[in-house]
Structure 1
């Protein structure tokens, strides 16, 4: 773990970088697809511009390299900023507020600084390893079973780019099986939003099918700092090499994980 003063400097740099990116995010809401990446998958000019801004600001302020969804780079687990300029691009392009800027700093193989900025919901959430979750400048208490009005579990996206590990039949089966538990599945279209919602006490659990670290790292650290249980989708400790994640309060996480393992049985 780096010295606290160094972490504070990195956090200040990210605060400034995300604030500048947020302005562009809001001004370009509804941007049309500009770069087709696959069936139903695209980036807008706003995705590209926001990642360019974040890269420039973070590299200049900290000297640490960047690994981003749109322009790649080298993922260095020893020291690396990880970016998703717009998580939930399809939502963003259609004006759906469930979209976010995700920024995390990986040092020595662990996320140590995380930002999930959800501008259209006016939720600016960040955390530093060992500290509390901070939302709109206010430090939050740890999450607990009583922190959500209803036991909701977020399934950020039914789709997954890892169809071998998470075939469509399994993803759909999980939603149906969760609906038979005490949890109420919700699909937002943004993994980052769902993981942050657990840290904020809005959801009691969230499941990510994403194989990408830029979708998961920020939310994983937020959940850890909120006192939630964090694992991969098979119940192992989450690492930067994990595919997917399950986070939640102890009871909700246990329900989500056992349900996931149940629907995985035919594959195991």
Structure 2
């Protein structure tokens, strides 16, 4: 039998250790440039090393991460993003988080999103409730937010070819005509965590990276939300991007994606 609770406790201890570096090095300048507008700080590198060492030692399961890579094994693998929203982190913007997810048999089963500057740590295990700072959250529904908002990961980030800026801008424009109000935090992990808390009614990630999306997928499932790819198909580890939301909000986002696609701004979406 899988000891998911034990795996979660191991992940908490590893994230606790990484959290100390996160707080200590807030505002760190770029230390590694990975491409135009894409960089890592010394904190990214140090936190991922901590997560790798502690998770592997405690569970015997390999780590696949944003900074040091590794081999992604959907059968059993930790996927980590040491700082999701590195640009925010480097400038002192609080919308940034440590993401840590355990994948077993092709599905996320344990997850932590820890945003120290927001005093927000979400945790979940498959089949359980989403926990906010160790307190259980109720399932999300259409009445959990005073004003219906939708988080949109970024207007310019990874996978620009599949989801070009023109498509993202068009989607944001279409959504403004719906009952949802678009919000851009600059952190996929924060967006998906907000949705699981009912702060957002929906969230859209354009990221092709599993370390960005996996934790939020588990939170959404545990919160009773609808989860899919941007094409409406079921989410898998190979899916590029994700849409999560209450039933109504998810339908609204998918309708908006359809209108944006038909408008010719995202032929490859």
1:176 pairs with 2:173: yes
Q: Distance in 2 between matches of 1:154 and 1:23?
A: 28
Secondary structure of the structure 2 residue equivalent to 1:146: coil
Select the residue among 68, 71, 75 that pairs with 1:71.
Answer: 68
Secondary structure of the structure 2 residue equivalent to 1:160: coil
Q: Is the 8 A contact 1:159 1:209 kept in 2?
A: no
1:114 pairs with 2:111: yes
1:138 pairs with 2:135: yes
RMSD (Å), alpha carbons: 0.9
1:218 aligns with 215
2:154 aligns with 157
Mean CA deviation greater in 258-267 or 225-234:
258-267
Q: Distance in 1 between matches of 2:32 and 2:238?
A: 27
Q: CA deviation at 1:211?
A: 0.5
Secondary structure of the structure 2 residue equivalent to 1:239: coil
2:125 aligns with 128
Select the residue among 196, 199, 202 that pairs with 2:196.
Answer: 199
Gaps of 5+ in 1: none
TM-score by length of 2: 0.97
Q: Distance in 1 between matches of 2:223 and 2:129?
A: 6
Q: Distance in 1 between matches of 2:10 and 2:204?
A: 30
Q: Distance in 2 between matches of 1:193 and 1:158?
A: 16
Secondary structure of the structure 1 residue equivalent to 2:18: helix
Q: Is the 8 A contact 1:155 1:207 kept in 2?
A: yes
Q: Distance in 1 between matches of 2:200 and 2:83?
A: 21
2:31 aligns with 34
Q: Distance in 2 between matches of 1:180 and 1:80?
A: 41
Q: Distance in 1 between matches of 2:184 and 2:149?
A: 10
Q: Distance in 1 between matches of 2:155 and 2:112?
A: 24
Q: CA deviation at 1:8?
A: 1.5
CA deviations over 1:54-104 (Å, ceiling 9, x no partner): 000000000000000000000000000000000000000000000000000
TM-score by length of 1: 0.97
1:11 aligns with 8
Gaps of 5+ in 2: none
Q: CA deviation at 1:164?
A: 2.3
Select the residue among 184, 190, 193 that pairs with 1:187.
Answer: 184
Runs ≥4 in structure 1, deviation > 3 angstroms? none
Q: Distance in 1 between matches of 2:113 and 2:254?
A: 24
Secondary structure of the structure 2 residue equivalent to 1:92: helix
1:22 pairs with 2:57: no
Select the residue among 230, 233, 258 that pairs with 1:261.
Answer: 258
1:88 aligns with 85
Q: Distance in 2 between matches of 1:83 and 1:14?
A: 10
Secondary structure of the structure 1 residue equivalent to 2:143: helix
